[in-house]
């Protein structure tokens, strides 16, 4: 298995809703990432998990809450989002421990906040 799987593919949520994005990989990668990508812009790094511990938080608002329950799974919990948070959310993984070997992106979740 050489894929990063993200679910759901599309999500529409209200500003008072709580929802979660899920990311899964079975490549044995120990680094996992969340990116946010607005239309016609490059991806922006949000969070990095290394060996299931949060190692980088790029000053992301607290309405985004990441979680890494195990080495294969990464979640992004969403609460009280704003319309400007509408974007494509990408998960990625790599071998980890300071190397980007095998860096692989998922297909993304298209999030719309109404």
Partner 1 sequence: KNQVEQSPQSLIILEGKNCTLQCNYTVSPFSNLRWYKQDTGRGPVSLTIMTFSENTKSNGRYTATLDADTKQSSLHITASQLSDSASYICVVRASNSGYALNFGKGTSLLVTP
- Contact set with partner 1 (CB under 8 A): 4, 6, 31, 33, 40-43, 45, 48, 50, 55-56, 88, 90, 92, 94, 98, 100, 103-108, 110
Least distance from C-beta 16 to partner 1, angstroms?
A: 26
**Nearer CB in complex with partner 1: 40/59:** 40
3-state SS string over the chain? CCCEEEECCEEEECCCCEEEEEEEECCCCCEEEEEEECCCCCCEEEEEEECCEEEEECCCCCCEEEEEEECCEEEEEEECCCHHHCEEEEEEEECECCECCCCEECCCEEEEEC
Q: Minimum distance between the CB of residue 24 and partner 1, rounded to whole angstroms?
A: 14
| Minimum CB distance to partner 1 smaller for 45 or for 73 | 45
Nearer CB in complex with partner 1: 10/16: 10
């Amino acid at each position: 298995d050489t894929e990063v799987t993200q679910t759901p593919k599309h999500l529409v949520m209200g500003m008072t809703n709580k929802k979660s994005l899920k990311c899964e990989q079975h490549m044995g990668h120990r680094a996992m990432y969340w990116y946010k990508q607005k239309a016609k812009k490059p991806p922006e790094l949000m969070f990095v998990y290394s060996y299931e511990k949060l190692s980088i938080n790029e000053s992301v608002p607290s309405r985004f809450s990441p979680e890494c329950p195990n080495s294969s799974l990464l979640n992004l919990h969403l609460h009280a989002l704003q319309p400007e948070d509408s974007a494509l959310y990408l998960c990625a993984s790599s071998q980890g421990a300071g190397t980007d070997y095998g860096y692989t992106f998922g297909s993304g979740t298209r999030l719309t906040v109404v």
